[in-house]
Amino acid sequence: MKVELTVEPLGSWIDTNGKPLIIAGPCSAETEDQLVETARQLKELNAVHVIRAGVWKPRTRPGSFEGMGEAALPWIQRAKAETGLPFAVEVATPEHIELALKYGVDILWVGARTTVNPFNVQEIADALRGVDVPVLVKNPVNPDLALWVGAFERLAGAGISKLGAIHRGFATGEASKYRNVPMWQMAIELKSIFPQLPLIGDPSHMAGKRAYLNELAQMAMDLNYDGLIVESHIDPDKAWSDAAQQLTPAAFGDMLDHLQIRQVESQNLEFQSFMEQSRRNIDNVDRQIVEMLGARMALVERLAEYKRDNNVTLFQPDRWKEILKTRTELGKKLNLYPELVEEIYKIIHMESIRKQTEIIHSATQDV
Ligand SMILES: O=C(O)C(=O)C[C@]1(C(=O)O)C=C[C@@H](O)C=C1
């Protein structure tokens, strides 16, 4: 069953004056002073729309700081009263939801470790039935787009329509300078499935380190994200969780000042006509690419019939090695990213084998 998503535009539930939505605050609410002071300094930047803080922290192993729980909720009320800004908190159970709403939390988010578990997400959706509150959903820990999509379908199925996605990067097991590999294409795919869903970048959890925050936040803006969620703490090095990736409100303000915000389109007529011409040229080249793929596949089909009649295997390791080498060398000469040609040819080769398999088996059935 596929659930159609009814998503209310971001601007209908939070006023950002047409600017990207900025959510900021400490990884965890640690003490009343730390939370209220961080919120106060963030408010002074005049650029933050929502304060965030972790109250219940899912930790991989027991024994680390797991959040202050309900005790932190009155501090949130105070931070809200002093700044006048709405507040966002992560929830993972129906009990968290009940408490968060009781203390006036304005926006809820579902964390990456919760999105991975459909039972958990369904419990959250059921607890939210009939409640009118914005819910943001972080991508699942692992790069599994269907889990992210499923979480939105479950929440939409429970009648939640103020929805947004938080892209926090993925644990891929591969070596990377980032704590969580962005895999931007995953968010692009999500946006292609749900075009109306607001997309919020989480450079803090992608980066894992302060030094990478700027480039990741800028990339999110370059990709037309609707906002950012960033961890900020009055004394980051002394933070009880995620110390390396938090930055002071002042440093965060500096980061925002240097962020280049781009527009989706330009009204400049010269620009528009240049774009139109460029896109027509790209259309032509793309048509040729697809036609060439068709021509290559037609050759493979003929070759497969001969292989079938002469009882020859489909996979030819030496020929495949030669193809990979010569094509990637050509790509290098043309200044293409080395892995591009390699990845494309891996797909072409697998399709060639799939097609040849089809031909050989269809013939076997005819006999
Ligand atoms: O040359 C062959 O024998 C093919 O089957 C064609 C082809 C290709 O698509 O280029 C496909 C499979 C082989 O492993 C090598 C090459």
Q: Which atom of ligand 1 is nearest to the CA of 356?
A: 5
Indicate which residue's Cα is closest to atom 6 of ligand 1.
300
Q: Say yes or no: CB of residue 268 within 6 Å of ligand 1.
A: no
Choose the residue to mutate in 313, 318, 319 for probing ligand 1, maximizing ligand atoms within 8 Å of C-beta: 319
CATH match for 269-366 among 1.20.59.10, 3.40.50.1000, 1.10.10.350, 3.10.20.740: 1.20.59.10
pLDDT class of 34 with cuts at 50, 70, 90: very high
* Per-domain residue ranges of the chain: 10-258, 269-366
CA 361 to ligand 1 center in whole angstroms: 17
Q: What is the mean pLDDT of the chain?
A: 95
Per-residue pLDDT tens digits for 43-64: 999 999 999 999 999 888 888 8
Q: Say yes or no: CB of residue 315 within 6 Å of ligand 1.
A: yes
Measured in residues, the chain has a length of: 367
Determine the pLDDT at residue 367.
Answer: 45
Q: Say yes or no: CB of residue 49 within 6 Å of ligand 1.
A: no
Determine the pLDDT at residue 185.
Answer: 97
Determine the pLDDT at residue 106.
Answer: 98
Q: What is the DSSP string of 32-88?
A: HHHHHHHHHHHHHTT---EEE-BSS---SSTTS----GGGGHHHHHHHHHHH---EE
Per-residue pLDDT tens digits for 325-340: 999 999 999 999 989 9
Mean pLDDT computed over 278-306? 98
Q: Say yes or no: CB of residue 324 within 6 Å of ligand 1.
A: no
Per-residue pLDDT tens digits for 226-264: 999 999 999 999 999 999 999 999 999 999 999 999 988
Q: What is the DSSP string of 97-130?
A: HHHHHHTT--EEEE-HHHHT-HHHHHHHHHHHTT
Cβ atoms of residues 231 and 27 within 8 Å:
yes
Q: Is the dihedral of CA 149, 154, 156, 157 positive or negative?
A: positive
Q: For residue 66, is pLDDT > 70? A: yes
Q: For residue 79, is pLDDT > 50? A: yes
What SS3 state is found at 134? coil
Q: Is this prediction's ipTM beyond 0.95?
A: yes
Determine the pLDDT at residue 64.
Answer: 86
Choose the residue to mutate in 297, 299, 300, 312 for probing ligand 1, maximizing ligand atoms within 8 Å of C-beta: 300
Q: What is the DSSP string of 202-241?
A: -HHHHHSSGGGHHHHHHHHHHTT-SEEEEEB-SSGGG-SS
Q: For residue 280, is pLDDT > 50? A: yes
Q: Say yes or no: CB of residue 321 within 6 Å of ligand 1.
A: no
Tell me what percent of the residues of the chain surpass a pLDDT of 70.
Answer: 98
CA 334 to ligand 1 center in whole angstroms: 24
Please tell me the class of the 10-258 domain.
Answer: alpha beta
Cβ neighbours for 193, distance < 8 A, ≥ 6 positions apart: 149
Report if pTM > 0.95.
no
Choose the residue to mutate in 301, 349, 354 for probing ligand 1, maximizing ligand atoms within 8 Å of C-beta: 349
CA 326 to ligand 1 center in whole angstroms: 14
CA 305 to ligand 1 center in whole angstroms: 13
pLDDT class of 267 with cuts at 50, 70, 90: very high
Token pair in block for residue 96: 């968290």
Indicate which residue's Cα is closest to atom 3 of ligand 1.
316
Determine the pLDDT at residue 17.
Answer: 92
Determine the pLDDT at residue 149.
Answer: 98
Q: For residue 115, is pLDDT > 80? A: yes
Q: Say yes or no: CB of residue 113 within 6 Å of ligand 1.
A: no
Determine the pLDDT at residue 364.
Answer: 58
Determine the pLDDT at residue 61.
Answer: 85
Determine the pLDDT at residue 1.
Answer: 57
| Residue 100 CB coordination number (10 Å) | 24
CA 285 to ligand 1 center in whole angstroms: 25
